[in-house]
Every structure is written in C-alpha cells, then in structure tokens.
Amino acid sequence: SVADLVYVRLSDGVGGGLVVGGQLVTGSSGLAGELGHVTVEPAGRPCRCGKRGCLETVASVPGILAACWEFGLRLENL
C-alpha cells in the first residue's frame, strides 16, 4: 500500500493527482491536480484557456507534437 503518491498524466492536456497520507489532496477549489494551466513560459504559445505559456502548451501530446514540427520532425502522434 502506498500512502503518498504523485500522478501526472500527459494527453490532450496535463493533469494529475496528489495523495498524501492516503488522502487525495483536492485543494480549496477542487483543482489541486490541474497542472496544465500553470504558467511555465510567460511569453510562450497561446493556450486554449486564453493564457500564454501554460504547461499544457509544451508538455501535452499536442504541445510535444508542435515542438517536434518546429524542429522539422513530422510526427503525427506519440
């Protein structure tokens, strides 16, 4: 049994979960695992949420594919 755990999921977005002492951490608004809209590049790509440079723009599957295309690697999926 695991009491503490960090889970990160990369797909069309970036999300996750945090378990501490066997309890899911939800935060006051229930969005503690929503990592995708943390700003990592203030002048980065536009995000679907309306902000710029969210983690999702660089670490989601679409973000990784876009970066590959920018470097000439024509991947269609991961």
Q: Which residues contact 37 (CB under 8 A, 6 or more apart)?
A: 47, 49, 51, 54, 55, 56
Domains within the chain, CATH numbers bracketed: 5-70 (3.30.420.40)
pLDDT higher than threshold 90 for residue 18: yes
Name the residue with higher pLDDT: 46 or 75: 46
pLDDT higher than threshold 90 for residue 32: no
Q: Which two tokens stand for residue 29?
A: 């608004």
Q: How far is residue 71 from each of residues 29, 37, 47, measured CA to CA in Å? A: 39, 24, 20
Helix (H, G, I), strand (E, B) or coil at 14: strand
pLDDT higher than threshold 80 for residue 29: yes
pTM higher than the cut 0.85: no
Q: How confident is the model at residue 49 (pLDDT cuts 50, 70, 90)?
A: very high
